[in-house]
Structure 1
Amino acid sequence: MQDLPSLFAKASQLAGRSFAELAAEVGLKVPKDLRRNKGWVGQLLEQQLGASAGSQQLQDFPELGVELKTIPIDATGKPLETTFVCTTPLVDIEQLSWEQSNVRNKLQCVLWIPIDGRREIALAERTVGTAFLWQPSAAQEQQLRQDWQEHMDRIALGQVEQISAHQGEVLQLRPKAANGRVKTQAIGPNGQLIETLPRGFYLKTSFTHSILRDVFNLP
């Protein structure tokens, strides 16, 4: 059973190493690109670090209360995509509060690992950046809580299909499915159950960029 300092030390030792090198150590094949293998880098780092949660609705290191998040960045340290947090409950949400939410659970302590996301560099040659541990400040938690509450209120009112990725200051809600045929139940406009695409919560790049700027003193 590892403790937090050991996990952080292990993650720190990955800095500067290539995906090819790290994949060879755990017996993973490096795909040509990530178009059909979107979660591959996360899987590689989970294996390197011994994450135990798999796809369960738990933190990646539940015994430590730590979630692992990779963040692809460009040469200037700017995030290249939003960060998936967790799937969104769309039914049976009457009693759900921010304190019990999986968004709060997942984000209470995050081990962020920046990775080279530049598409012009072959995937095998891309490298891992400097890991850091992050917990939301009171102001950041307030922003997250406010967005979460607004999204959940709209879901409860049967407006899930009217929510766009533009809404939310720091936390957006958008479809999360392998393809358009995947459906789940949600509350419809008249309180009836409807079929819709599953949804996920994502951190906006403006929010993750502000975290990176604070940690690495970026301009």
Structure 2
Amino acid sequence: MTFLSSLPLPPENEQQLFERAQALAGFNLGELASRAQIAIPHDLKRDKGWVGMLLELYLGAMAGSKPEQDFPALGIELKTIPIDAAGKPLETTFVCVAPLTGNSGVTWANSHVRHKLARVLWIPVEGERQIPLAQRRIGSPLLWQPNQQEEDMLRRDWEELMDLIVLGHVERITARHGEVLQLRPKAANSKALTEAIGEQGQPILTLPRGFYLKKSFTGALLARHFSI
């Protein structure tokens, strides 16, 4: 591929985005980082979003940390997914922060989760810990949108989890809730609290929560599309 002499503009269409993603397949993170003149972290413990940020540079994403899709003009979200040697996901996939207050009138149809997952460019990346970060290779991309069965599964889980949040049971929710979507604490530390609704309808402070796709869901998705 032609590597950047400067950062690319946002892709004009879906095909251009997909071709850019295909051109990255087979390169390792070290090659991409050095050509973009970006330092490689020692590991990803404190730099969880580093791989996604690196690929965003090459793909021309502009959203950054904004709550919109990574490619808003195309309606496409970018998700990197660490995989093992068998092509199976190594961790759950963060979707978005969960709203714990102000949820009147929010439905699945207008939810942030549905918006983020409407169309996703998945880019698998080698993720096994014994492979040094710089040597981890990028896999072939997949452009996905939920089929009816997947959408129904996501909607059911979202509705169950949101009902629990609205009814004041947020602190009872565990990672076992939900078939394909789960709600988990998402905070840099235990002091980063946010407002939520308690069991008596009173305001409480709790850890921020995020929606995550379970490995069983993303694993099945990758297996089906790549015939693993």
- TM-score w.r.t. the length of structure 2 is 0.94
Which residue number corresponds to residue 49 of structure 2? 39
Aligned residues: 218
Which residue number corresponds to residue 73 of structure 1? 83
How far 1:47 sits from its partner (Å)?
A: 1.1
Which residue number corresponds to residue 174 of structure 2? 164
Aligned identity (percent) is: 57
- Listed one character per residue, the Cα deviations across residues 150-202 of structure 1 (whole Å, up to 9, x for unaligned) are 00000000000000001100000000111111010001111111000000000
Question: CA separation in 1, counterparts of 2:100 and 2:144?
Answer: 28
Question: CA separation in 2, counterparts of 1:36 and 1:156?
Answer: 32
Point out 4+ residue stretches in structure 1 off by more than 3 angstroms. Answer: none
The residue type paired with residue 5 of structure 1 is Q
1:107 aligns with 2:117: yes
The residue type paired with residue 17 of structure 1 is F
Which residue number corresponds to residue 222 of structure 2? 212
Alignment of 1:174-213 (within 5 A): 174-213=184-223
How far 1:25 sits from its partner (Å)?
A: 2.2
Which residue number corresponds to residue 121 of structure 1? 131
Aligned-pair RMSD on alpha carbons?
0.7
Question: CA separation in 1, counterparts of 2:62 and 2:106?
Answer: 26
- TM-score w.r.t. the length of structure 1 is 0.98
- Listed one character per residue, the Cα deviations across residues 62-117 of structure 1 (whole Å, up to 9, x for unaligned) are 01000000000000011000000000000010110001101000001000000000
Question: CA separation in 1, counterparts of 2:46 and 2:104?
Answer: 37
1:30 aligns with 2:40: yes
- 1:62 paired residue among 68, 72, 83: 72
Q: Secondary structure in 1 aligned to 2:24?
A: coil
Instruction: For structure 1, list consecutive stretches of 5 or more residues without a partner in the other structure.
Output: none
- Listed one character per residue, the Cα deviations across residues 39-78 of structure 1 (whole Å, up to 9, x for unaligned) are 1101111111111111111000001000000000000011
Instruction: For structure 2, list consecutive stretches of 5 or more residues without a partner in the other structure.
Output: 1-9
